[in-house]
Structure 1
Amino acid sequence: MSQNPPTHTEPGPRRPLLARTADRAFFAAAMLVFAAGIALHLAGSRAPSLTVFAIALRWIGLALFLPVALRLRSLLVWTFYAMIAGVVLGLDAPHIAGQLRFLGDLFLRLIRMIVAPLIFGGIVTGIAGHGELKGVGRVALKAILFFEVVTTLGLLLGLVAINLTHAGAGVALPAATQAVAPAAHSETWQQLILNIFPENIAQAVAQNQILQVAIFSLLFGTALATLPESKRAPLVTVLQSLTDTMFRMTKMIMVVAPLAAGAAMAYTISTSGLALLASLAKLAVTYYGALAAFILLVLAPILVAGRISVRRFAAAIGEPAAIGFATTSSEAALPLAMERLEEFGVPRWIVSFVVPTGYSFNMTGSSVYLTMAAIFAAQAAGIHLSLGEQLIMLATLMLTSKGVAGVPRATLVVLMASAADLHIPSSAILVLLGIDTLMDMGRSAMNVIGNCMAAVVVARWEGELGSPAQTA
């Protein structure tokens, strides 16, 4: 266990059964009324007289949910409520919602501000302060092995899912005159390795190159660990205080997370609308169905095999995953995820090394989508791919996806980079832009879950997984 793990204020005493039952009833009623309001909105184009009734139902559903959110005092519940409020605002007040994007961007800036010092302090104090120098190499290899196995299974599952539903068949492609975004250039494996190492640590921090910061921290911590105790101790003490301060700052920033999530959702709905997202609903259903299968067939069995409580793990990563889902950024959930993992019993030095590594090597949620999106684009373009060609596509995507997990809309970058090699027209990939935000929610949440799970599994693999931290 790490020293002085960050504390987490739990809710008060367990509430009476009657109160919990009332909360469930209010929540169920709120969701039913809200869903009815959304359904009537979708039918509004055929029956304009339903518009006022639909608006009333959405706001009534929002009002019914409010007492539950206020009583539960949970970041997860508040984030979910803010997302629902964002949908309502985006539909019913799009002009206002369209101005709220800056709140989400502000939250992401605050998160990026603390990521580099948090990772630097965590890795250096873990290596130099806890004598874990010999274990770093083993942890690195085990983490990369975990990421490779899990993402490969995700790619295979996405391939199977899209071949079962044929969601891309019959999709109308954009006009040929539409501007096509330039494709990114695929990097060689030598360039990928070279880009892991920073040539300027200040530049790496400024560009938010998480893996480069982690590599610098690893080397710095290793060098510091080789110094005599008298020279090492003062700096380790300072860096330990820095890390603890960053965790405290995380708590402060997370107070505004629900507001940022709601603003991001409101902006998305106001600009894209529900009708545009509904046009690609079959692909969305296929993807989220595949994610559910991935959790049940891949992730849950790994936790069971590692003798890790599935229920306790789900409770620990629920809030970080919700933040990733709402903000469509797994990076936004990084500080809170690191804090929850320490509370779960993962040593800080393992958390601080495995989780940042995952931001370049792990695309758990994105891997399920990558092959699915590529086959969808091929189906939309009327291209029939044999099983052998699909397996070659899988191998190509496996290689081109490395090193871009932290890039916004990384899957579109990978698909554009691989389009020429896969003989898929860029216009077919552009079809995915209409639904990419909705899909990116699931991708980001699953990437957060995958990174957290890797840290827990590696800690168990190393025999370092302790008991949950006792909270105040």
Structure 2
Amino acid sequence: MKKLFKLPLAYQILIGLVLGIIVGAIFYGNPAVETYLDPIGKMFINMIKMIVVPIIISTLILGVAGTGDIKQLGKLGGKTLIYFELVTTVAIVVGLLAANIVKPGVGVDMSALSKGNIDQYVQTTEQVQHESFLDVLVNIVPSNVIQAMAEGNMLSIIFFSVLFGLGVAAIGEKGKPVLAFFSGVADTMFWVTNLIMKFAPFGVFALIGVTISKFGLSSLLPLGKLLILVYAAMAFFIIVVLGGIAKLVGFNIFFLFKVLKDELILAYSTSSSETVLPKVLEKMEKIGCPKDVVSFVVPTGYSFNLDGSTLYQAIAAIFIAQMYNIDLSIMQQITLVLVLMITSKGIAGVPGVSFVVLLATLGTVGIPLEGLAFIAGIDRILDMARTVVNVVGNSLASVVMSKWEGRFDEQKQKTYFQTTEEA
């Protein structure tokens, strides 16, 4: 037992994942699995959510106050949003091309597919569709910052933290005790993060066990072609597209995989980017990205740079159209790209965001919304892959922005690489 806990965290999480799959498969359809394991999984997710907001606020205030230059922050924000828009557009195009070439929905026997319940997503979509783009912009500015923190409204939290950090920098000496306080908060929360991560293998075991026991491995077979295509497209996007971007800025994408191996396995297992946000912030700073860049780019990316989600949405939309024998014209697919670009930004952070985006999008090009019920059963398995792409995309974005600003610390990267090699 002692040897098991001496294993690196990545291996412990993998063991939890495999055991969860085995338990879920053995006790498929048994409600006792959900009764006993679901609370464990929820406790782990809640513990992560508990620390995300304090970490973002403290690190962002420290980073912004350390910079203290509103023009520099404005430039960083503008460049970041342009980069996010370009990369997510490429992700949508890759998804459309993959679905049009492979045609995963052609010849699918709809009678062999089981329908999932998408009522909860329909209700959320109806609320979202009443919001205009201007409403989204207005909601970035919080009327009550405590409420924004309680709801985990990431963009509002970032907006407040940036202004607060600038205020601390502006008052000079008087702001030093405030900085000392938030520095202590950040260090404390990272210590708490490391403690919570020891519980990760149990959380992963519970979450994946419940998923497999609910849907079973057999639910994957009728939609196998879609599943394989989504995973292949995600791998292509990470290695070729993101790898190409990394090479352009003089960075190695495989080094990033090595740095974030624990976080990527955890993100994959839990289907949640939030579970790894604290450690991603910590590690990206350790490999050479400035604190203010990391603490701004990564959390903002969780709302504006969901590469994996947008890629999946494009594939899923074409899959459903093919399933119903609907031949979308080039203009309809261009419309789909434009609508996905806007919709995916407008409702970022909403639970089940990929389903909500698709529900808000499919009707614009005449695709039946009911088709989503056929892929609801394997959505969790697909979500695992798109979460990994989201994490890699946002982590790389912080490197790209640091390099673009000329502030990436190459020495830190070399030191981190040497340390990991020795370990």
Give the TM-score of the pair, scaled to structure 1: 0.81
**Contact 1:115–1:335 (Cα < 8 Å) also in 2:** yes
Whole-Å Cα distance in 2 between the matches of residues 316 and 381 of structure 1?
A: 43
**Aligned position for 1:396:** 339
**1:135 CA drift (Å):** 2.2
Q: Does 1:306 align with 2:249?
A: yes
Whole-Å Cα distance in 1 between the matches of residues 118 and 187 of structure 2?
A: 47
**Aligned position for 1:135:** 72
After superposition, the C-alpha distances for 1:59-103 in whole angstroms (9 at most, x for unaligned) are xxxxxxx99x83872211211111011001111234453221221
How do residues 38-77 of structure 1 correspond to structure 2 at under 5 angstroms?
A: 70=4, 73-77=7-11
**Aligned position for 2:33:** 97
Q: 1:72 to 1:159 in 2, by over 3 A?
A: farther
After superposition, the C-alpha distances for 1:265-307 in whole angstroms (9 at most, x for unaligned) are 1110000000112221100101111111112321111111111
Q: 1:329 to 1:179 in 2, by over 3 A?
A: closer
**1:125 CA drift (Å):** 1.0
Q: Does 1:145 align with 2:75?
A: no
Number of aligned residue pairs: give it.
Answer: 405
Q: 1:404 to 1:76 in 2, by over 3 A?
A: farther
**Contact 1:365–1:443 (Cα < 8 Å) also in 2:** yes
**1:170 CA drift (Å):** 3.0
Q: Does 1:161 align with 2:104?
A: no
Whole-Å Cα distance in 2 between the matches of residues 452 and 178 of structure 1?
A: 33
SS in 2 for 1:100: helix
Instruction: Give structure 1 stretches of 5+ with no counterpart.
Output: 1-65
**1:159 CA drift (Å):** 0.3
**Aligned position for 1:465:** 408
Give the TM-score of the pair, scaled to structure 2: 0.90
After superposition, the C-alpha distances for 1:175-212 in whole angstroms (9 at most, x for unaligned) are 9x997633434332211211222111111111111121
Q: Does 1:78 align with 2:2?
A: no
Whole-Å Cα distance in 1 between the matches of residues 382 and 256 of structure 2?
A: 24
How do residues 31-430 of structure 1 correspond to structure 2 at under 5 angstroms?
A: 70=4, 73-94=7-28, 95=30, 96-98=32-34, 99-173=36-110, 181=119, 182=122, 183-184=125-126, 185-186=128-129, 187-227=131-171, 229-430=172-373
How do residues 426-465 of structure 1 correspond to structure 2 at under 5 angstroms?
A: 426-465=369-408
**Contact 1:107–1:257 (Cα < 8 Å) also in 2:** yes
After superposition, the C-alpha distances for 1:313-341 in whole angstroms (9 at most, x for unaligned) are 11112222211111111111111111111
**1:420 CA drift (Å):** 2.2
Q: 1:178 to 1:254 in 2, by over 3 A?
A: closer
Code of the residue aligned with 1:145 in structure 2: it is: I
Whole-Å Cα distance in 2 between the matches of residues 223 and 71 of structure 1?
A: 45
**Contact 1:180–1:426 (Cα < 8 Å) also in 2:** no
Whole-Å Cα distance in 2 between the matches of residues 323 and 135 of structure 1?
A: 34
Whole-Å Cα distance in 2 between the matches of residues 409 and 238 of structure 1?
A: 36
Q: Which moved more, 1:125-134 or 1:215-224?
A: 125-134
Instruction: Give structure 2 stretches of 5+ with no counterpart.
Output: none
Q: 1:273 to 1:105 in 2, by over 3 A?
A: same
SS in 2 for 1:457: helix
Whole-Å Cα distance in 1 between the matches of residues 110 and 82 of structure 2?
A: 39
Q: 1:247 to 1:464 in 2, by over 3 A?
A: same
**1:405 CA drift (Å):** 3.4
Code of the residue aligned with 1:332 in structure 2: it is: T
Whole-Å Cα distance in 1 between the matches of residues 152 and 58 of structure 2?
A: 16
Whole-Å Cα distance in 1 between the matches of residues 344 and 358 of structure 2?
A: 9
**Contact 1:327–1:441 (Cα < 8 Å) also in 2:** yes
**1:311 CA drift (Å):** 2.9
**Contact 2:116–2:375 (Cα < 8 Å) also in 1:** no
Whole-Å Cα distance in 2 between the matches of residues 172 and 419 of structure 1?
A: 21
**Contact 1:317–1:452 (Cα < 8 Å) also in 2:** no
Q: 1:132 to 1:107 in 2, by over 3 A?
A: farther
Q: 1:250 to 1:429 in 2, by over 3 A?
A: same
Q: 1:85 to 1:137 in 2, by over 3 A?
A: same
**Contact 2:24–2:212 (Cα < 8 Å) also in 1:** yes
Code of the residue aligned with 1:169 in structure 2: it is: V
Q: 1:403 to 1:325 in 2, by over 3 A?
A: farther
Whole-Å Cα distance in 2 between the matches of residues 130 and 421 of structure 1?
A: 44
SS in 2 for 1:167: coil
**Contact 2:116–2:376 (Cα < 8 Å) also in 1:** no
Q: CA RMSD in A?
A: 2.3
**Contact 1:82–1:261 (Cα < 8 Å) also in 2:** yes
SS in 2 for 1:435: helix
Relative to its length, the structure with more helix (as a share) is 2
**Contact 2:239–2:253 (Cα < 8 Å) also in 1:** no
Whole-Å Cα distance in 2 between the matches of residues 149 and 327 of structure 1?
A: 28
User: Percent identity at matched positions?
Assistant: 36
Code of the residue aligned with 1:385 in structure 2: it is: L
Q: 1:457 to 1:178 in 2, by over 3 A?
A: closer
Whole-Å Cα distance in 1 between the matches of residues 372 and 301 of structure 2?
A: 26
SS in 2 for 1:271: helix
Code of the residue aligned with 1:163 in structure 2: it is: N
Code of the residue aligned with 1:200 in structure 2: it is: N
Whole-Å Cα distance in 2 between the matches of residues 178 and 93 of structure 1?
A: 20
Q: 1:179 to 1:319 in 2, by over 3 A?
A: closer
SS in 2 for 1:346: coil
Code of the residue aligned with 2:72 in structure 1: it is: G
Whole-Å Cα distance in 1 between the matches of residues 369 and 67 of structure 2?
A: 51
**Contact 2:54–2:186 (Cα < 8 Å) also in 1:** yes
Whole-Å Cα distance in 2 between the matches of residues 153 and 179 of structure 1?
A: 31
Q: 1:464 to 1:180 in 2, by over 3 A?
A: closer
Code of the residue aligned with 1:282 in structure 2: it is: K
